[in-house]
A and B are shown apart, each in its own frame.
Chain A
Amino acid sequence: MKPAAANSPTSAAMTTTKQPPPEKPEAVRLRTKIVLSFWAVILLLGFPTWWQTTSIYRADLPLQDMLNWAEGLNTPTSIPLHIWVSAPNLPCPDAQRIVRETQQALDDLNEYPTLHQRLYLVNWWSTGKDNKEEKGTPSTSCGENPSSPDLGDPALRVLLEPAKDGFAFELDPVIAKAVVYIPRTDANNVSKRLAENLHELFKEEQVAAALQTVALASHTQNAQAFLRSQPYDVVTRIEKQINRAYKSSSEFHLTFSLFTAGGVPSSWDVQDALSKHIQPLVQALSNTSEFDITTQIQLYSSYSPAIQPVTKEGMEGAFLQQKDLTAFVNAAEWPLAPSIGDGPTINFILYVPVQDEIPLKIDGVEGTSWLIPQWGGIQITNPPLQPDPMTGGMSLPAHLAGELLRQPFETFSSQLLSLLGVPQANQSGKLLPLQLRLDAYKRFSTLTLYLKAASSLGSLARLAQRLSNIPIQKHVAELVDDAIGNLTAAEHAFLESRWDAALIHSRIAYRDSEKAFFDKSMVGQVYFPDEHKVAVYLPLLGPIGVPLLVGLLREIKRLVVRKRGITP
């Protein structure tokens, strides 16, 4: 009934105005198909294309895993430090008792679990000396075999020797070995004193490790408590030592530069000096980091023009003000920081002033060398003047011979050690044996790289969660997987006190995590606020969208009308 009622006004209107002929049914069907095909193209082709081209690719990252690493949930609760004890000339039960009691005393002395010393009775002495083994002393059966897979790398080897007079703890001056003389008489005191000595030996290393943990990790109550229990001056001294050093890296570049203010000297015996003073150090450190060495000579390169040296009455040469030393480096003109490879560059500069300024000294101090923390070392050298055969006057030598380089390069090598963060003399000014210090540096470096890798992963995870419009490429996810795998491996190595393996894995983990975080594709180009998006899409979608939408609505209306017409 309804359609008829609706038709009546239109039929009435028809009589008054001229109407177009009614649409043919096939034309109506065709129009429906046209509208539908437009929509089909939009929905099937247009929408996926738009989605594909405007969405930001984000690879799946194991976010929770990464955060766990940064939180320290996967970090080993204790990192033991193995010490091998051998007592070839003591009865076996005595040796075992001493080791057990010393371990107990150590545990009482020191509750910080990182780098906690663990004593193992190991039969290293006899295997080291083949002739002793042949004798078949009873000690060969006492203690573990050094090649046993349960043992980690020894931080120190201790040899217990019986003695008539008092207790003595003697360190080898170079390698990580100690001989302990044990009196027969007061056996109780022995283990306590041995424990105290061992504790003292590794205490500063533990302080450094705790400081680094506090700086890099998030759960640090243990480390903070340990630091609080240590004397304040020791902590600040070690902290200064850490701050002076470059951040741990798997690669370093050493650049030795000769800058001369005039045209001479124009050559130096640098190969010789390097092989004498720097190479042995580099070789000893080579299991911790890689070192590249480059050298350069630059003529007519004076210090920064901001500096005016002063002259003094009755004194030869010129003087640099101490406050000017920070500005000495002429960063604009000296070609430093060549940016080769990934690692940081440590600069060593030997500066020869112009002849008028010789000798160039620093006002108020004896030496002419100084160290810029985390940058490098600078040394002014004043070579002796030589008579010039051409003019007859005195002039600078054209060549710096080996003898003139000896003192500067000795300074450079000591600066290199402190710039790397190799432990310095302790409170009483006593230096530990070199091997121990290099090992301590290796362990510190391993721990730092490990903590840094874990913290970078956490940073990346939080970043990915917070910034939704930052793209994350596939290779970033692969780097993250690699880093996590290596961190796991390093963690196992820590638990077994295998420092070489731990270092290798931490180093790869660090490199991969840094690469993942600093990937160049992850620059969220420009942030668009929502109103900007509307402003971009509206002019585009308005003119197209309105006819499409209206067409669709009309078709739907017609269909609804027809449906009701058929089934009233």
Chain B
Amino acid sequence: MRPSQFLWTLLSLVTVTCAAHTSNWAVLVSTSRFWFNYRHLANTLSLYRTVKRLGIPDSQILLLLPDDMACNPRNAFSGTVYSNADRRMDLYGENVEVDYRGYEVTVENFIRLLTDRWEEGVPASKRLQTDEGSNILIYMTGHGGSEFLKFQDSEEISSWDLADAFSQMREKKRYNEMLFMIDTCQANTLYRQFYTPGIIATGSSEEDESSYSHHADNDVGVAVIDRWTYYVLEFLETQVTGPTSDKTLGDLFDSYDVGKIHSNPGVRWDLFPGGEQAGRSRRVVDFFGNVQNVELQGNKSGVELLKDDLEGLKRLVRDYESFAAAQENNNTEMLDVLQRRTEPTNGKNTPPLTKQNPVGRVNTSETSQWTRRIGGATVLSGLAALWYFAPKLV
């Protein structure tokens, strides 16, 4: 029958729309300091430009830059950062919002950022406030090795750390789909330990392979961009012309050319629901662009309806006030009624609350007392042994 078929198509549509994607976020991380790592900051800033051009607002981009190349004393072009020797485009420009800088870029902060476990009072601009409808782009670049990436020459993040952080995000429904990109030596090993569904991962080089820089600018004096990032950006800039582009991730990954990149880029599809086929058909702008559309409103529509509402509200407020006044007047009677109506709920609901707390507290304090006793006994017996044996040693 027709209607039953219609219902079945409805079912599939409903399930699709329930997994809807409603916002886009980008986390762009450079992990290295110092002037000779100029290219890592340039990589990240280039990506930042691109996602901003494709429509992700600054409030939904988290930019982590451990060093400030624009103001480095060795920078011959102070106040600017370029990712190309032609120096046509200043990446630093006038409007770059760096969320974490300098020594704030640490492994701990990065994991806190992903899992959103902060002390109170961390500003919203530093937090990844995603929900079950958010698509997240994570781009990392720096120096790494097999299953680790160095942060600021002092720490490292491992593939397991990332995998665990992502699984916690998944548990709390903090993302819908995620694209993880990494440009570092042995980059493909960094997503090896991931186990959480919904992630597409891509990296610049295989295990035991280096990722190379693309070219150096002789006037800047250092390499300005990495090869893999350069060709990804080239694709994004030339093929993905605007927020409505329908280029897919498949197109992006097919554009990888080992001859140009000088290393073997990798892609991991198996965590993505639907596998490679579904992943390849995702549009590039699903991750690099912004799905969040504004809703235009005429100045007239809605307001007419609301006028009635406001009138209604005033009436409601008057009702509340008169109710309050009445309550004050004959409060004995009203209170009686109210009490009788709330009593059963109170009577039923409070016991579980009061019961469960003390139990937990008593338990924990008991165990800590025991550990203290054992500790004391150990120290005492150790001292006694020392007192007994020490004279015999001499």
- A residues at B contact (CB < 8 Å): 30, 33-34, 37, 40-41, 44-45, 48, 52, 59-60, 147, 149, 173-175, 211, 214-215, 224, 227-229, 232, 235-236, 239, 243-244, 247, 277, 280-281, 283-284, 304-306, 322-323, 325-327, 329, 331-332, 336-337, 339, 345, 362, 365-375, 407, 410-411, 413-415, 417, 425, 431, 433-435, 455-456, 459, 462-463, 466-467, 474, 477-478, 481-482, 484-486, 488-489, 492-493, 496, 498, 501, 505, 517-520, 522-527, 529
Contacts and interface: CB of A to CB of B under 8 A. Distances in A.
Contacts of B337: 147
B20 A243 contact: yes
B117 A407 contact: no
Contacts of A481: 356-357, 360
Given A33-B392, A45-B382, A435-B316, A370 B58 contact: no
Contacts of B2: none
B117 A283 contact: no
Contact of A280 (B23, B131, B243, B314): B314
Contacts of A370: 294-297
B319 interface: yes
Contacts of A478: 357, 360-361
A414 B306 contact: yes
Contact of A367 (B299, B310, B320, B375): B299
Contacts of B344: 149, 496
B158 interface: yes
Interface residues of B, number: 107
B305 A431 contact: yes
A329 B97 CA distance: 13
Contacts of A34: 389, 393
20 contacts: A30-B392, A41-B385, A44-B378, A45-B379, A52-B375, A215-B18, A224-B14, A224-B15, A326-B55, A337-B124, A369-B297, A370-B295, A414-B305, A425-B305, A431-B305, A466-B167, A478-B357, A519-B117, A525-B108, A527-B161
Given A373-B292, A459-B171, A365 B298 contact: yes
In the A-B complex, list the 4 residue pairs whose CB atoms are closest, starting with the nearest: A489-B349, A331-B58, A174-B312, A367-B298
B353 interface: yes
Contacts of A323: 243
Contacts of B276: none
A306 B52 CA distance: 9
A234 to B, nearest CB: 11
B357 A493 contact: no
Contacts of A280: 310, 313-314, 316-317
Which of B14, B55, B125, B350 lies at the interface centre, i.e. has the most chain A CB atoms within 10 A of its CB?
A: B14
B294 A45 contact: no
Contact of A147 (B121, B160, B340): B340
Nearest to B289: A326
A459 B22 contact: no
B96 to A, nearest CB: 8
B197 interface: no
Contacts of A305: 94-95
B128 to A, nearest CB: 12
Contacts of B345: 492-493, 496, 498, 501
A367 B364 contact: no
A331 B57 contact: yes
Interface stretch (B5-13, B79-87, B279-287): B5-13
A552 B127 CA distance: 56
Contacts of B357: 478, 481-482, 485
A478 to B, nearest CB: 6
B39 to A, nearest CB: 25
B316 A48 contact: no
Interface in B87-122: 94-97, 107-108, 111-112, 115-119, 121-122
A139 B117 CA distance: 60
B191 to A, nearest CB: 15
B385 A322 contact: no
B348 A492 contact: yes
B254 to A, nearest CB: 28
Contacts of B18: 211, 214-215, 239
B17 interface: yes
Interface string B352-394: 1101110011011000000100110011011001100100110
Given A371-B294, A526-B158, A414 B303 contact: yes
Interface string B170-187: 011100000000000000
A44 B299 contact: no
Given A332-B95, A488-B349, A523-B111, 7 more contacts: A33-B392, A232-B14, A304-B95, A407-B303, A434-B316, A463-B167, A524-B164
Contact of A411 (B297, B309, B382): B297
A48 B378 contact: yes
A122 B299 CA distance: 45
A151 to B, nearest CB: 8
Nearest to B365: A474
Given A284-B313, A527-B158, A372 B294 contact: yes
A371 B297 contact: yes
Contacts of A485: 352-353, 355-357
Contacts of B192: none
Contacts of A277: 310
B310 A326 contact: no
Contacts of B364: 59, 474, 477
Nearest to A281: B313
A220 to B, nearest CB: 10
Contacts of B57: 326-327, 329, 331
Contact of B296 (A329, A365, A414, A525): A365
Contacts of B73: none
B309 A529 contact: no
B316 A174 contact: yes
Contacts of B118: 518, 520
Nearest to A277: B310
B120 to A, nearest CB: 8
A434 B309 contact: yes
A41 B366 CA distance: 27
Which of B161, B290, B309 lies at the interface centre, i.e. has the most chain A CB atoms within 10 A of its CB?
A: B309
B343 interface: yes
Which of B94, B157, B294, B300 lies at the interface centre, i.e. has the most chain A CB atoms within 10 A of its CB?
A: B294
Nearest to B357: A481
B259 interface: no
Contacts of B52: 306, 327
B112 to A, nearest CB: 6
